[in-house]
Chains A and B, each alone.
Chain A
Amino acid sequence: MIDLHRLKAWTIARSIYRASCILGFESTQKNSLEPYFHDNSSIAFGQNNPLVFSDNGLLEINKTPFIIPHLLCLMRSPYRSFCKINRLVKIGRCMRSSSNDVRKLKLLLGVGLEATITYMNHDPKCMQIIGGEEGRVDFYLQDLPTPLLSLMKKQDEGWQIRDFNAIDGQPKVKMIFKSVEIGILSCQNLLDHKISSALGEYKILGYAPIMEKIGYCAKLTSLQIPLPV
């Protein structure tokens, strides 16, 4: 169980890793941004030659253009550190870009969902809301045959984002965005979901209550950790 006072920083770190996955930076283990707890107040990105940031530094990520990693890791492995910093800069650029394409939608969706499931797995209020729900939740863009992303929970495991290739069968619920623009607005928390659903801007098929709970957890999470603008 994560110390609750570290949950925000850990959630930001998980979201960065998810962005790295979606942008294809995690296809090899080299220079991975997968986060680990480094010590009681800092988080490392990557197991080998980690790039380490303090929790407090990560919490500033939405407010400042650049946060400074621990100097020791920079000195120990300057090249690897530079590569990882470069990836972080690219992630930041993509997140803030004004493009409206499927890649951007997938990135925002992945970052938002990773933050949400981290809260669903660790935050007491979100854990209570999601309760014993489990199964798979697929997010689609209308007219695309495969999901943009899938969430999954199996029995005692926590909620996690899964690759479509690793799953089969009908999901418990599907959310289908009518367009890239609608999807991006939804991820940016700029849509009233009840209104959008009534107007057909997105569809929910299947066991809707689970989506309502995830949506509410997403709202609680975004109140704690807004998307970078």
Chain B
Amino acid sequence: MRSRAKSDALFVRSSKVIPGGIYGHLSPSASLPRHFAHFCSKGEGVHFEDVDGNEWLDFMCAYGAVLHGYNHPEIEDAVAIQRKLGTVFNHPHEVSVELAEKLTDLIDFADWAVFAKNGSDLTTWAIRVAREKTQRPIVIKARGAYHGVDAWCDPGMGGRIESDRADIKEFEWNNLNELEDLFKKFKDQVAAVILTPYHHASFAPSVLPAENFWAGVRKLCSENECILVLDDVRAGWRIHEKGSHCFFGFEPDLAVYSKALGNGYAISACVGIDSLKSAASDVFLTGSCWNDAVAMRAALTSISIAERDDVVNSVCKKGKYFCDSTEAVAEKYGYNFKMTGPPSMPYPWFSEDNDLYKIQEFCKIASNKGLFFHPHHNWFISNAHDKNSLESALSLVTETFDEMANRK
């Protein structure tokens, strides 16, 4: 077991002044509380260090927010220049226009863009734009899908009232018949369908769209004059450089991005088609620090690097190598273990492990070797992962399976 005295002491301090000590997806109770550190001190590339000085080889990339690696020099240099000029002003900075131009150039269907800080800010705003445009109340989502922290969709249980979800209807991912039934049942009442590009629920293997699923969704939305919102917050810039819809071959009406967009700087964007521009301007959107020139500069730089270095293909190739190799090691030790979902953001899954004991044991053993593998969330590959770091990880993966097999 790695040292954790400072981490625990800091957590005790934290718990006195912060509800739960640490909240949300970073809450220790959501992962491996006695195996992962509670607090980080610094990061570089694919490594981060916790407050006890333990170094971790990372496969979570700040839960997807880091695409090019921690503390990326080119992004940090651009950010430093912008920071000297200022961050938030009485007016937006020119960089906001540059970023909107960049996104509308890059994303084929996008005619406009707006910005906020988190994915949730804009998934919630996007469904309001759809409601404004259609003047209808109902929003359809996939069962178990995560779209943020607001009451209409959050995975928690507290602080909600019945009416929060009265107009939210759900269907099973990939089940077009169920979606069609909802359209029939709520004829002329559906404002939007909001979906992630593939189904990446927590505590469950990822599920890719079935053949014709997206074509079917698009057709149903168009026939019913409802807005198709793509929540590309988690997958954006990890499946296709111009948006995940390009990879799966469909066109949404609105799409929301965040996470990888700013390489660790808080920014989210929503882009949309021209016919929604007027509705978009009628739905109030603001935040005191949302016109954050520093985060926008980080995003512009991050996108430029992604284009220049073909980062999406790179993380997909690296992910494929890592996933295939990990599966091969697992097989050698007699485990039926699959990396589900896209290889750049794989969700690890042992067959017949619906109760998660095996993956928890695997990730605990791996954590003792300094590998940061989350047992309940998809992992992320960053472009800072290179041959050396992947080979080091695979060597530790082999040791992990070996130890696990010996415990049987």
Which chain A residues have a beta carbon within 8 Å of chain B's beta carbons? Answer: 129, 135, 170-173, 192-195, 197-200, 203-209, 212-213, 216
Contact residues on B (Cβ < 8 Å of other chain), bracket: 20 to 34
Closest A residue, CB atoms, query B203: A209
B157 & A216 in contact (Cβ 8 Å cutoff): yes
B176 interfacial by beta-carbon distance below 8 Å: no
Told that A170-B355, A198-B21 touch, could you supply 9 new A-B pairs with CB distance under 8 A? A192-B15, A194-B28, A195-B21, A197-B29, A200-B33, A204-B29, A207-B203, A208-B29, A208-B203
B27 & A199 in contact (Cβ 8 Å cutoff): no
B22 interfacial by beta-carbon distance below 8 Å: yes
A194 contact set on B, CB distance < 8 A: 20-21, 23, 27-29
B38 & A198 in contact (Cβ 8 Å cutoff): yes
How far does the Cβ of B309 sit from chain A's closest Cβ, in whole Å?
38
Say what secondary structure dominates the interface of chain B. Answer: loop
CA distance A200 to B12 in the complex (A): 12
How far does the Cβ of B264 sit from chain A's closest Cβ, in whole Å?
24
Q: Total A-B residue pairs with C-beta atoms closer than 8 Å?
A: 60
B158 & A193 in contact (Cβ 8 Å cutoff): no
A207 & B15 in contact (Cβ 8 Å cutoff): no
Q: Of the candidates A129, A170, A172, A197, which one forms a contact with B28 in the assembled complex, judged by CB atoms under 8 Å apart?
A: A197
Q: Of the candidates A193, A199, A205, A212, which one forms a contact with B11 in the assembled complex, judged by CB atoms under 8 Å apart?
A: A199
Closest A residue, CB atoms, query B360: A205
B34 & A203 in contact (Cβ 8 Å cutoff): yes
B12 contact set on A, CB distance < 8 A: 199
CA distance A173 to B354 in the complex (A): 11
CA distance A192 to B14 in the complex (A): 13
Query: Mask for B32-62, Cβ within 8 A of A = 1, else 0?
Result: 0110001000000000000000000000000
A207 & B8 in contact (Cβ 8 Å cutoff): no
Closest B residue, CB atoms, query A213: B157
B376 interfacial by beta-carbon distance below 8 Å: yes
A198 & B29 in contact (Cβ 8 Å cutoff): yes
CA distance A212 to B376 in the complex (A): 14
Q: Of the candidates B30, B157, B360, which one forms a contact with A129 in the assembled complex, judged by CB atoms under 8 Å apart?
A: B157
A216 & B11 in contact (Cβ 8 Å cutoff): no
A171 contact set on B, CB distance < 8 A: 355
B360 & A216 in contact (Cβ 8 Å cutoff): no
**Contact flag A207-B356 (CB < 8 Å), given A194-B27, A195-B15, A197-B28:** yes
B284 interfacial by beta-carbon distance below 8 Å: no
Q: Of the candidates A193, A199, A207, A216, which one forms a contact with B354 in the assembled complex, judged by CB atoms under 8 Å apart?
A: A207
CA distance A170 to B38 in the complex (A): 30
A sample of 12 cross-chain residue pairs with beta-carbon separation below 8 angstroms, ordered by A number, consists of A173-B355, A192-B20, A194-B20, A194-B27, A197-B29, A198-B11, A198-B28, A198-B38, A206-B355, A206-B357, A207-B203, A208-B376
B8 contact set on A, CB distance < 8 A: 199
Which chain B residues have a beta carbon within 8 Å of chain A's beta carbons? Answer: 8, 11-12, 15, 20-23, 27-30, 33-34, 38, 157-158, 203, 354-357, 360, 376
Q: Of the candidates A135, A193, A205, A216, which one forms a contact with B29 in the assembled complex, judged by CB atoms under 8 Å apart?
A: A193
* 4 closest residue pairs by CB, A with B: A198-B28, A194-B20, A197-B29, A216-B157
B360 contact set on A, CB distance < 8 A: 205-206
**Contact flag A170-B357 (CB < 8 Å), given A192-B20, A195-B21:** yes
How far does the Cβ of B151 sit from chain A's closest Cβ, in whole Å?
14
Closest B residue, CB atoms, query A196: B29
A199 contact set on B, CB distance < 8 A: 8, 11-12, 33
CA distance A23 to B382 in the complex (A): 57
B356 & A197 in contact (Cβ 8 Å cutoff): no
B15 & A197 in contact (Cβ 8 Å cutoff): no
CA distance A197 to B38 in the complex (A): 12
CA distance A171 to B355 in the complex (A): 8
How far does the Cβ of A131 sit from chain B's closest Cβ, in whole Å?
10
**Contact flag A198-B33 (CB < 8 Å), given A205-B357, A206-B355, A207-B356:** yes
B158 & A216 in contact (Cβ 8 Å cutoff): yes
B20 & A200 in contact (Cβ 8 Å cutoff): no
B34 & A200 in contact (Cβ 8 Å cutoff): yes
Most buried by A among B12, B23, B38, B357: B357
B356 contact set on A, CB distance < 8 A: 206-208
A207 contact set on B, CB distance < 8 A: 203, 354-356
A197 & B355 in contact (Cβ 8 Å cutoff): no
Closest A residue, CB atoms, query B202: A209
How far does the Cβ of B113 sit from chain A's closest Cβ, in whole Å?
35
CA distance A200 to B8 in the complex (A): 10
How far does the Cβ of B356 sit from chain A's closest Cβ, in whole Å?
6
How far does the Cβ of B72 sit from chain A's closest Cβ, in whole Å?
30
CA distance A207 to B27 in the complex (A): 16
A205 contact set on B, CB distance < 8 A: 357, 360
CA distance A206 to B15 in the complex (A): 25
CA distance A204 to B20 in the complex (A): 16
CA distance A212 to B29 in the complex (A): 10
CA distance A194 to B357 in the complex (A): 20
A203 contact set on B, CB distance < 8 A: 34
Closest A residue, CB atoms, query B155: A209
Closest A residue, CB atoms, query B357: A206
A172 & B15 in contact (Cβ 8 Å cutoff): no
CA distance A213 to B158 in the complex (A): 11
Closest B residue, CB atoms, query A220: B157
How far does the Cβ of A11 sit from chain B's closest Cβ, in whole Å?
20
Most buried by B among A192, A193, A199, A206: A199
CA distance A112 to B27 in the complex (A): 26
B30 contact set on A, CB distance < 8 A: 208
Closest B residue, CB atoms, query A173: B355
How far does the Cβ of A80 sit from chain B's closest Cβ, in whole Å?
44
